[in-house]
Amino acid sequence: MEELLFGVEPFYVLTYLAGASIAGAGIGWKIIKLINRIDLRGRNQNKALIEIAEHMDNETDRLHPKRSENHIKSTIVRILEEPRKN
């Protein structure tokens, strides 16, 4: 009589264990890719905000040359560089 492992033949236990490990690694890989994609989207959005602010500052200087310098780009860059508090 063959020995059983958890009431099942050892070959099937090892097969299920290997399959579950591979599936878990695949799911983990997908989660890591998703997190990286979300992080990249946030970085691209920050770059876009800085470019828009720079454009607004340039247009303000062009349209209102006598206005005192109070540019928005430096404020946005400072806010984006601040560490987030959770």
Could you report the per-residue pLDDT of 1-45, keeping only the tens digit for each? 467 776 778 888 889 999 999 999 999 999 999 998 888 888 888
pLDDT of residue 27: 96
Whether the CB-CB separation of 47 and 78 falls below 8 Å is answered with: no
Written as six digits, the tokens of 41 are 């989207």
Question: Would you give the distance in Å from CA 28 to the centre of its chain?
Answer: 15
pLDDT of residue 86: 52
Global pTM value: 0.52
- What phi and psi, each to the nearest 5 degrees, are found at residue 34? -65, -45
